[in-house]
Structures are given as C-alpha cells and as structure tokens.
Amino acid sequence: MIPADPPRGPWHTPAPGTPTVPLSALLADPDLGLKRIAGPDEDRFVEQVGTTELADPTPYLIGGELLLTAGSLLPRTPEGIDDYVRRVVEAGTVALGFGIVPVYEEVPPDLIAACDRHDLPLLLVPKDVPFVAVARATHSAMAEARTHDLRLVSEAQSALASAAARPDALAAVLRQLSVHLGVWAVLLDGNGAELLAAGTRPAAQVTRQLCELAARTAARQPSAPHDRTPGPGSRPPTAAAQHHAGIHLTVHTVPGGDTAGPLALGLVAASRPTPVHRSVTGTAIVLLSLLTNPRHALGGDTRTAGAVVRLLLGGAPAEIAPMLLPADAPDDAAWTVVHGRPARSARGPGAQPGGDPVHLAALGTALGTPYLDLAGPVLRALIPWSARAQPTEPADAARLGWHLGFSAPVGTADLPVADTQAERALRRAVASGLPTVHHRTVEQSVHSIVAPREAKALARARFAPLDRAPAPGPAVLMETLRTWLSQYGSWDRTAAALGLHRNTVRQRISRISELLDVDLQDPEVRMELWFALHWLPGERSSLDDGQG
C-alpha cells in the first residue's frame, strides 16, 4: 500500500495543489528556444524559476526550481562542478538552465558530464533570451494550467450537484464522477461488497483487489459513534491507494453512513490522481455522505415512503402526518405552512417550471424542512413545529430571492386553515416588498374577550349580503376586501398582491361598499370589518379559539 498522492519522481514532491508546469512545455515553447543538452529525457514539473550566480545557492532553494545561471561563480574544476551539481540536486532542483553569455561562449563539458551523472536536466538558454523571459513564460503557463484545472473542477462540481438532486441520486453522482475523471467508480459497503458502480468495469482481478483494499480500510474505522473522536495521532486513515501494472486503485471512506460499518468510494484509473481528481473526488464524497445519511438510507427514507403509501391507499392525513415528523418529535408537535414566490428581480427556481434543484435545496435547508413542493413559480412547504423548536424565518430569504408567507402553527386537522393563512401572508409580503411575513396570531387582543360562537354568528350575518353578489362572485369580492384592508386601503399595493389593475380593485371595493351598505372610507367601519373577517368559517384554527 502506498500514499494516495505519490511523488512525481525521486527529485521533489510538490505540495498538493501547487501550480506546476511540465518541463516539456517549456522546451516546446518556440519563443524560448530552450534545448535539453544533458540529463534524463523524462518529464519533470517546475514549481518556480530561480536565478542565481552564487557559488553555493542551496541555502536559498526550497525545491521544485528551474534554476537559471550564467555561471559567473561556477567552480572551474571538474570536482567543484560535480559538487555544485550534487548539492543543487539534493536541494530539490528540477532542472538547470545555463546561459552562455556573457561569461561562457559554450556550456562547460564538465557541467554536461556532471548533470548526466546526477540525473539533472541541463537546458541551454539561447544568448538572445533573457532569464526573465523564461520566468514569465513559466508563470504564464502555470496560470493557464491553473485556469484550466479550475474550469474542469467547476464543471465537474456543477454536474455532481445536479446529479445529487435526481431521483436516482447515488447512481447519478457515480456516473458523473466516472465521466469527469475517466474512472470506474463504485460504492462499497463495510465488507467491500459492491453496491452501485459506474464506468467501464475493470478486470475481475482488479475489482477484487479494490474490494479487498476497501474492506481493509473500513476495518480500521470506528463503528460506534463514541469511538469517532480518537485522540491526537490515533485517527485511522480514511483513504488508501494501491498501484499495480499501470492500474491505480484508490479508496475513500464515506463519513456519516450506517453504524453497521462505513461505506467506501472506490476508484480505478489508468493514471495517478491529480489535484483536479482530488478536488472533484472530495466533492463527490461530501455528496455521497449526505445522500447515505441514515435519514436517507440510500434513498429509502422508510418513514416518508410509508406515509406516501398509506396516503395513496386512502389513509387519513391525521394518521399519516405523525410519520412525517422527526422520530423524537414531542407531543405538542404541529405544522407551519409556508407559501413562496420568487421576487421579480430574482433568478431563482421560479424562473422556470421545476426550478434549479440546487437553489431549491438551499431554500429547504434555510427553512429546515425537506417537505417542499414547487409548481411553476409557486412554492409550498410544511415545517414541523413544536414549542421547544420553533421554525424561524430564514435570514437569507432575501438573498435567495424569495417572498415567503408563514402560517401560524396548527395541528393536522387545521392544515387547510394554515394553507390559507400562508397564502395571505405571502400576498402581504409581495405587496409590501418584504422577504417574509408571518400570520399574526390574536392572543392578547380584543378577540380574546369575544365569545367565539357569538362572534362567528355575527361575522356570518355581517357579510351575508355578499353571498348574493353576481360575477366575479362572493369569494372573489371577499378576498379583494380582505387584501385591501390588509394593505391599509392602498389601491396600488392591493392590485400588486392580487395581480389586478388598480381600476379593477376600485370597482370591486365600490361594489362591496354598496352591497354591505357601508362607507369604506370610515376607519371605524374598516376596523369593524377587519375584526369580523377573522371570525368567518375557515379563517381560524382550533389552536386560535380553542374549538374544533
């Protein structure tokens, strides 16, 4: 078994993620005209370019350099030159570039022999190429390679995130990992048994070696939660690699899996891992860890799935709702309903039917619930609620580009009432330009001193004249009145909340005033109607008035 990030050669091991450029790329640059005149033909990776005219530059070297010199203080004896080359090789120098002017007319033969002897590539720098041009070309090539790597990482991470939102999330993540890294990707259990795989399957012997490597790595991991915080220096490795006959095997344990044993991600590739491979693999491991969390159970959330089955087979909501609550939910657990609509200036999931799954997942995380339904531009969500753990409005709702309306917490039987509350709170949010609006409960108000039965009877009688209204009908007129009152009689804000023209709002309010025989410009009349609206059937839950 060898480290997952092996050195590139015996001369120097770049730190993970360090920008480098192959020596071959510099030799191929026609503007530089560099020529290899000694040392091995194998490619090496340059991390930086250094220039020196010291007799002993090694105190100032950190390794990975293409060291450029004109030989001003180069030793004059074969023994001195040999010692010079030996020391710079031991310091980690990748290659030596020699300029033949102004000190030398040609490269000293003793230097060529010493570089051959110590396996140090020796490059001839043409007399018309300044050292700074070599450094500039090297740094430019590094920047270009870095940009290329970042683009590859970004594309792969975007594909992995989209795959994680698919119904077949685990298989989709493995497929994208295989495509972007050119590997065979496999998810293995704690015993090294294959669960899911993607890509071209290698030979049976290679597959067996990978499974054995995964089993050995998993066996080193703690199985109990209290064992997962080992002391300093005792943490077992979470990754291992094995290379054989040009085949590179890598195993990474997936944290957060089932307590019966950690899962593992296995990769089979034809080349060693690169920084791009490591970065993309890290993203995949995070996603797989989330997807294989015990709550998801490899895509089989049995409580939620069971609730859906019961509902489709005729189960009552009151029976099914407790199955959707957390297992440790208290007895006072209830629900808050949320309605949402993307802001006009936002490019959120409402911009197109179905929305952006990553954006929607971010909103679900902010709301603290997996129960979201997006139909076109309209979002509806259910948030579990209890007196000990009350949902709050997401602080980043505005950043995510949503208007949200929250209902009061209700029991299962009152979910239709909460749905209405959330819808109206959303309309107030849209009309007011606020990111969130909560339904206002009526505790500590004049409602608490009114007998519910008499108040409901009075409200029905007060609005009875609207029951005989022609088109657009009583329900539309009631909703217009309710919205107009909630917007303090503003025609423009009411029109925005209802999606109507302001003249249509004026006509409807005028019609309501005639049918109810009241002056809606009188603030006392408005206050009376506003209180009466809250006592109409379907407006209040059992948690509000203590009645079913």
Q: Residue 16: is its pLDDT beyond 60?
A: no
Rounded distance between C-alpha atoms, residue 405 and residue 412, angstroms: 19
Which stretches of 128-183 are DSSP H helices? 131-164, 169-181
Rounded to two decimals, the pTM is: 0.47
What are 148-182's pLDDT values in tens digits?
888 999 999 899 988 888 767 888 899 999 999 99
Under 8 Å between Cβ of 23 and 147: no
Which of these, 353, 376, 344, 350, lies nearest to 363 by C-alpha position? Answer: 350
Specify the amino acid at residue 149. D
Of residues 373 and 177, the one with the higher pLDDT is 177
Quick one: pLDDT at residue 234?
45
Looking at per-residue confidence, does 324 or 492 come out higher?
492
**What does the pLDDT read at residue 13?**
55
Bridge pairing between strands 95-99 and 122-125: parallel
- Residue 369 contacts residue 385 (beta carbons within 8 Å): no
Mean pLDDT, the chain, integer: 78
Q: Please, how many CA atoms are within 13 Å of residue 436, restricted to the half-sphere of its CB?
A: 18
Higher-pLDDT residue of 133, 215: 133
What confidence category does residue 548 fall into, taking pLDDT thresholds of 50, 70 and 90? very low
Q: What is the pLDDT of residues 215-270, one digit of tens each?
A: 888 776 555 444 444 444 445 567 888 887 778 999 998 876 544 457 889 999 98
Q: Cα–Cα distance between 453 and 430 in angstroms, integer?
A: 34
Two tokens at 57? 């530059």
Q: Dump pLDDT digits (tens) for 523-536.
A: 888 887 877 777 77
